[in-house]
């Protein structure tokens, strides 16, 4: 009560002094005495300083008695060393090197198809046969002639070794035998073209041409065979990632259609930069995953190009930028019993971003209390009240 009366007395005193002072100033101005005006001005300036000092004392007294201060309300988060994995996010397609369409090597009627769609086959297995146009009979006749030529040659050889007969007879028998043997092999090679065999183990994905159709070499596709045991994802990576995207890097693959995620590694990195889009190809190995992953399936690929085992991450939303282009945030000093602390602005150096978070390379230390909510409403050196 005593302090309130003191404040009122000072206020009344200032008011009465102000009224008397106003009359005095009017009188001096009326007289038009320049020297007196300047002296009065000096006096008023001195009184103004005195009033300012008294106001400061009053403000300090009020602040010490005021229990409800209007301080900015903030929340803080503690900076911690965190494992930070940065990923390059790309899109790719599932591929397989063992996905081919088989064409006939010889024209004719497709007389027999030995497999059906979905059937598993082994490498070299007979899949289809084309009419040989009489090559089988030709082969039988050629084999008979070859057998006769061999018998003749063997006999002539024995005689020649016994010094019986002429050398020319021996050479003629040998030449005839070799010619007949070559003829048999040539017909066999031709006959082999009338069959279609599996070039690798896999699954018959599609029987394209019906049995009984007439086919021509290189024109009529007959069967598609696929092997899902050696699939990979091919994706294009911008050239700026050449130093960080290397063989053996961890990769996270997500298949939107399947709703599945798998972890794998880069198995091959291309050595050619495409001049059209300045990118290089990367192959990522991928298992068939029970047959659900199929060639040409779209995949989202995340390649781990950077890792920091002791990174400080903060939300990007609490960063600000000054006129010089420097990024900054606020940290708080040790709080008192009423959770009141001082906000301090710190300039930070940022690194890579991932989602809503950004890596801080310099400016913050492990354990710093960083203002999160309310960071936009505080100033450097301002007192704040921490809610958490």
Confidence of residue 350 (pLDDT cuts 50, 70, 90): very high
Cα dihedral sign, 178-179-180-184: positive
CA distance 308 to 85: 7
Paired strand residues for 264: 251
The predicted pLDDT at position 88 comes to 92
The predicted pLDDT at position 8 comes to 43
**Residues sharing a CB contact under 8 Å with residue 146, sequence separation 6 or more, in sequence order:** 177, 180, 181, 183, 184
The predicted pLDDT at position 45 comes to 84
Is residue 381 a contact partner of residue 344, using CB atoms and an 8 Å limit?
A: yes
- pLDDT tens digit sequence for 171-201: 988 999 999 999 999 988 888 888 999 999 9
Is residue 352 a contact partner of residue 365, using CB atoms and an 8 Å limit?
A: no
Confidence of residue 5 (pLDDT cuts 50, 70, 90): very low
Give the DSSP H/E element, type plus range, for residue 284: strand 279-286
Is residue 355 a contact partner of residue 303, using CB atoms and an 8 Å limit?
A: no
The predicted pLDDT at position 236 comes to 94
Is residue 300 a contact partner of residue 262, using CB atoms and an 8 Å limit?
A: no
Mean pLDDT of the chain: 86
CATH superfamily placement of domain 88-97+227-307: Efflux pump adaptor protein, beta barrel domain (2.40.30.170)
| List of long-range contacts for 161-170, beta carbons under 8 Å, 24+ apart | none
**Residues sharing a CB contact under 8 Å with residue 33, sequence separation 6 or more, in sequence order:** none
Give domain 102-225's CATH number out of 3.30.465.10, 2.40.50.100, 1.10.760.10, 3.30.70.2190.
2.40.50.100
| CATH class (in words) of the domain with range 73-83+309-386 | mainly beta
Burial annotation 86-97 (CB, 10 A radius, 16+ → b, else e): bbbebebebebe
Asked whether the predicted pLDDT for residue 261 surpasses 60, the reply is: yes
Identify which has the larger pLDDT, 213 or 292.
213
**Residues sharing a CB contact under 8 Å with residue 154, sequence separation 6 or more, in sequence order:** none
Confidence of residue 229 (pLDDT cuts 50, 70, 90): confident
- pLDDT tens digit sequence for 78-122: 999 999 999 999 999 998 888 899 999 888 999 999 999 989 999
Domain extents in the chain: 2-65, 73-83+309-386, 88-97+227-307, 102-225
- pLDDT tens digit sequence for 273-310: 999 999 999 999 887 666 788 888 999 999 999 999 99
CA distance 161 to 140: 32
Indicate the SS3 state at residue 33. coil
pTM over the 0.75 mark: no
Tell which residue, 341, 345, 344, 346, has the closest CA to residue 386: 341
Annotate 227-289 with three-state secondary structure.
Answer: CCCCEEEEEEEEHHHCCCCCCCCEEEEEECCCCEEEEEEEEEECCCCECCCCEEEEEEEECCC
């Amino acid at each position: 009560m005593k302090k309130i009366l003191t404040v009122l007395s000072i206020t009344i005193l200032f008011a009465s002094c102000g009224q008397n002072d106003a009359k005095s100033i009017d009188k001096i101005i009326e007289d038009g005495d320049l020297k007196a005006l300047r002296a009065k001005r000096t006096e008023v300036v001195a009184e103004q300083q005195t009033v300012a000092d008294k106001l400061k004392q009053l403000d300090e007294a009020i602040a010490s008695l005021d229990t409800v201060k209007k301080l900015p309300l903030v929340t803080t988060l503690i900076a911690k060393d965190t494992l930070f994995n940065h990923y390059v996010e790309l899109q790719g397609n599932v591929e397989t090197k063992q996905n081919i369409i088989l064409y006939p090597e010889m024209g004719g009627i497709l007389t027999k198809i030995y497999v059906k769609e979905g059937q598993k086959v082994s490498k070299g297995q007979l899949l289809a046969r084309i009419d040989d146009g009489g090559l089988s009979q030709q082969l039988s006749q050629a084999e008979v002639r070859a057998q006769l030529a061999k018998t003749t040659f063997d006999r002539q050889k024995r005689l020649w070794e016994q010094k019986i007969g002429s050398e020319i007879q021996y050479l003629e028998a040998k030449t005839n035998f070799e010619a007949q043997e070559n003829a048999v092999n040539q017909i066999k090679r031709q006959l082999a073209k009338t069959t279609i065999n599996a070039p690798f183990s896999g699954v018959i994905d599609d029987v394209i041409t019906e049995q009984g159709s007439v086919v021509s070499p290189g024109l009529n596709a007959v069967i598609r065979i696929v092997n899902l045991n050696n699939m990979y994802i091919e994706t294009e990576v911008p050239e700026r990632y050449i130093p960080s995207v290397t063989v053996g890097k961890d990769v996270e693959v997500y298949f939107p259609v399947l709703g599945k995620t798998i972890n794998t590694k880069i198995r091959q990195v291309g050595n050619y930069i495409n001049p059209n889009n300045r990118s290089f190809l990367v192959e990522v190995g991928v298992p068939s995953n029970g047959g659900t992953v199929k060639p040409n399936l779209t995949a989202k690929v995340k390649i781990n190009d950077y890792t920091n085992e002791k990174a400080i991450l903060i939300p990007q939303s609490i960063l600000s930028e000054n006129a010089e282009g420097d990024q900054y945030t606020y940290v708080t000093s040790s709080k008192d019993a009423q959770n009141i602390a001082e906000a301090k602005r710190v300039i930070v150096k940022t690194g890579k971003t991932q989602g809503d978070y950004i890596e801080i390379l310099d400016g913050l230390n492990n354990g710093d209390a960083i203002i999160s909510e309310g960071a936009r409403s505080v100033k450097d050196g301002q007192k704040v009240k921490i809610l958490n």
